[in-house]
Structure formats: C-alpha cells, structure tokens
Chains A and B, each alone.
Chain A
C-alpha cells in the first residue's frame, strides 16, 4: 500500500532535540504524528493512505463534504497551534501532501536556507489578526451630516420640483456611498499604518463578505501582523484604545491571536 506524507509544520531540529514532540493524533485520528529529521530542519508529519487521499478525492471532499472539511481543518489548525505553543514553527497550509518521504526530503533540502531565514524571522514573535467592522448606517449619517459639500447639495435639491428631486436624491445617495467607502478606507489605512509601528511586519488581507462572517456590520479591514512577543501587549492596548475611542461612532475592532505564523513564513 502506498503512503502519502501529510506535512503539518517544520521545526528547527535543535529545538526538538531539547524538547520531544508531544503525543498528537494523526489526520485519521487513529495513529500519531511523527518527526522526520532532515538536517537542521525537522518535519512533523503523518502517513496517509494514497488510495484514499488522491488529489481528486481530497478536492471532492473539500467542495462537497462540509462536515469532513470542518473536522479536518480544525484538526489541522489545532495541531499546528499546539506545535506553535512549544516550538518555532513554519506552519503549512491545510492538506499539504507529499508523494513520499523522499520527495519531502528533497523539498526541505533545496529550500533549507529560505526555511532557516523564515525561522529567524518568526522566532520569538507572534502573528495577530485584526478585523475592523463598521456599522455602515451609522457612519453614513455622520458622513452626510458632516460633509459641507453634501449639505450644500441637499439644500439645492430641496428647492427643485418633486420629480427632479427624486433623481437628484438618488445621485446624492450614490455620492454619500462612495464618500463613505473612501472615509472607511482612509481611517482603516491610518490605523493600520499606526499599528504596523508596533509590529515587525504588517500584511493586508482581503475582507470577508457578511455571508462569511454572518454579521450585520461590514468588514472594513482585515490584516495580520508579526509582533515581537514583548510588544504584543502594547499592540493590543492600541487596538483597545481605538475601540474605546471609536466604538460609539459605529466601529468595532477584533484582534485575535496568537496564530501560527501562516502569513510570515512562506518559503516558496
């Protein structure tokens, strides 16, 4: 029977020499993870039956079997989190598979210097995520009340005949919408720039639609930061200050972490 190798993460060998790998369940839940020492880098892996986990079979399940995906993605995340608590880890994406131990070894060997750099970049640091949400309705009121150009326009419109008013109002609504987007972006970018001062690196991600978040507020900003452990507290304090200052105006801030350094340890 052929085996595939499922790679969870990469760890500096010297770290695992002083502290052994804890007992962690494998992908199927029946066996345990094991380590593969490849020079200065150690891979944390498990075996998977090649007949059950072909590329097509995995794609099929990811697209059609939500329950499976949820369970397995959670397993992957939990496992990497546990590793990250103990070691400096380059976390791998969900379902990173190699054909054999040999092919994994080749990949690690040919990327060793980049991986070593990644270890240095993330050692002693944490990844934190920040999501900013806005109550658009509340913000829209503020934008349309505090903007003199809009105020002026509104006055003009109120003097028009009723039918014309309708079209001009629609135009104005559009203007308010676009001003709102600009304002939200401007504010979020300022906050991001300020927070990046507390981090070593910051990275802006795509925002999620409300279907994904299941929230009424729009997600306005989604970013990740690589922060020195000693700076995390001041980073979070800053977020709290923003929250305290802007909550009443319809802004919400959600910082989460520490996460495995998914966004700051790519070696490809």
Chain B
C-alpha cells in the first residue's frame, strides 16, 4: 500500500487496510466542514454583530475543534496534504 503521507490528492482505499483509507476519507470531510464553519465564524466576528462573550465562546470552541483535529490527524498518521482531494478541473478541495 502507498503510505497516506504520499500526498497526491487521492484517497487510498486499500482492501487490506480499509480502515485507514476510511479514516482519511472521514477526516477529509470533517476538515472541510470545520474550515467552512471557521470561515463563517470569522465573517460573523468581523461583521461586528456578536457580543464579546459570544466571540469568546465561539473562538474557544473553534480552537478546541482545531486542536482535536490535529490530534486525530496525529493518530491516523495524516497530514494536511492528505486531507485535500484533487477535484480535477475544479482544483483541490481545500
């Protein structure tokens, strides 16, 4: 099997090691959602309609989410490039 760290924009679904490919696929989707949420949150904060307390809560939640994501990547031996899928003519996912 090709190691997942060999970043070529492909998900490696190997029959003998399916859970690893699956973890990569699942984390890719989660990472995409996380980044969308993060960007949206930044827009809300910059929009200036949130109270200090709301900003604080939001920031803390996102920071924890980011840390958790790093942990998961560590556990499955994946790096940022592994969580980016090549969408052909559309460019890459993230």
CA distance A161 to B60 in the complex (A): 9
Q: Within 8 Å CB of A170, what residues of B?
A: 38, 42
Q: Closest approach, in angstroms, between the C-beta of A62 and any C-beta of chain B?
A: 16
Contact A164 B42 (CB under 8 A): no
Contact B55 A167 (CB under 8 A): yes
Q: Within 8 Å CB of B56, what residues of A?
A: 161-164
CA distance A170 to B46 in the complex (A): 12
Inter-chain contact count A-B, CB under 8 Å?
Answer: 32
Tally B residues with Cβ within 8 Å of A. Answer: 16
Tally A residues with Cβ within 8 Å of B. Answer: 9
Contact A163 B58 (CB under 8 A): yes
Contact B60 A167 (CB under 8 A): no
Q: State which residues 139-165 of A face B: CB under 8 Å.
A: 161-165
Contact B42 A163 (CB under 8 A): no
Q: Within 8 Å CB of A165, what residues of B?
A: 59, 63
Judge if B5 is at the interface, Cβ distance under 8 Å: no
Map CB proximity to A onto B48-75 as digits: 1 under 8 Å, 0 otherwise: 0000100111111111001000000000
**CB closest residue in chain A, given B52:** A164
Judge if B85 is at the interface, Cβ distance under 8 Å: no
Q: Closest approach, in angstroms, between the C-beta of A210 and any C-beta of chain B?
A: 10
CA distance A211 to B86 in the complex (A): 10
CA distance A163 to B66 in the complex (A): 12
Among B38, B55, B59, B86, the one with the most A-chain Cβ atoms within 10 Å of its Cβ is: B59
Judge if A208 is at the interface, Cβ distance under 8 Å: no
Binding site for A on B (CB under 8 A): 38, 41-42, 45, 52, 55-63, 66, 86
Pairs across A and B, CB under 8 Å, 9 listed: A162-B59, A162-B60, A163-B55, A164-B55, A164-B56, A164-B59, A165-B59, A167-B55, A211-B86
